[in-house]
Amino acid sequence: MTDTIILTVVILSALGLVLALVLFLVAKKFKVEEDPRIDDVEKAMPGANCGGCGFAGCRAFADAAVKAENLDNIYCPVGGNEVMKKVAGILGYELKEKAPMVAVLRCNGSCENRPKTNTYDGALSCQVKAALYSGDTACTYGCLGCGDCVAACSFGALSMDPKTGLPVVDESKCTACGACVKACPKQLIELRNKGPRSMRVYVSCRNKDKGPVAKKACAAACIGCGLCVKTCTHGAIVLESNLAYIDFEKCKLCRECEAVCPTGAIHGVNFPKPLDKELIKQRIAERNRKAKEAAAAAKEVNNA
């Protein structure tokens, strides 16, 4: 009996040693050497693991950065240009700095502007609410008010305003990670250039209904009148599907579009002086008058 036990222990021990040796040899043969710079880049990262860069986390970002030929299409929105300078220094790449961005809410459908037409009694989730029906107001494009974007923000940059029923972005905390953008089922949150001294102009509406329908649903909706497009001399505004959109790359912050918007759908924020609509309208009228006179003079020359 004792001999059997001893033999069993010896056989199992020998088998264990053989399998351990096989595993060691296999691991050594198929070992993947990892670039040590990945660790260095990861240490330089903010460690938020938010996924705002488009990768699963900071480790995945570091791996992609090391393998990339340049950093043109790789950017950490949380760390910004300061972190990217460190990454570029580690990898020996040249860095093209990007303008800081911030989240903006493209909906001005407050309780006052967009009255409720029914009452929702269900799970407090925008995703759930959007899956069940179009919303508790006549606007099918507006904010659902359940705060999925607030829950998605890891930096405390979003909060719900009980008075308006809309989320508010604290730009001093916003890292432009894009988590709120992904969380909104209505695609109402957009990342835009923060702008010089945080000044920005954008259309705070996503309603694509025709003017009368949009205006009936929300007093501050874009009605697709096109006045902003006609007024802009920089080609920064386009009108598609009854909805105006301002290209922040082309916008010169003149605020003329904001002044002529009949519903107040265009918002200018963080400007040092309040908007003087009458003064701007006079400026536009004078410019149009001069343009007509120049066109008439050119016509006369051609006819002569």
Identify the structural domains of the chain with CATH numbers, from first to last.
37-91 (1.10.15.40), 109-189 (3.30.70.20), 195-298 (3.30.70.20)
pLDDT greater than 70 at residue 132? yes
Helix, strand, coil shares of the chain, percent, nearest 5, are 40, 10, 50
Under 8 Å between Cβ of 290 and 237: no
pLDDT at 1: 61
pLDDT at 247: 97
* Calpha distance 203→226 (Å, rounded): 12
Average pLDDT, the chain: 91
**What average pLDDT does the segment 215-222 reach?**
96
| CA 44, chain centre distance (Å) | 24
* Calpha distance 103→159 (Å, rounded): 13
Residue with tokens 């105006």: 244
Split at pLDDT 50, 70, 90, the class of 303 is confident
* Calpha distance 207→33 (Å, rounded): 53
Split at pLDDT 50, 70, 90, the class of 250 is very high
Q: Name the DSSP class of 26.
A: H
Split at pLDDT 50, 70, 90, the class of 86 is very high
* Calpha distance 125→264 (Å, rounded): 29
**What average pLDDT does the segment 182-208 reach?**
96
Under 8 Å between Cβ of 105 and 159: no
pLDDT greater than 70 at residue 304? no
Nearest by Cα to 211 from 244, 181, 182: 244
**Angle at 33 (CA atoms; ends 27, 36), nearest 5 degrees:** 140
pLDDT at 33: 66
pTM, two decimal places: 0.81
Six token digits for residue 53: 């860069």
pLDDT greater than 80 at residue 192? yes
pLDDT greater than 70 at residue 30? no
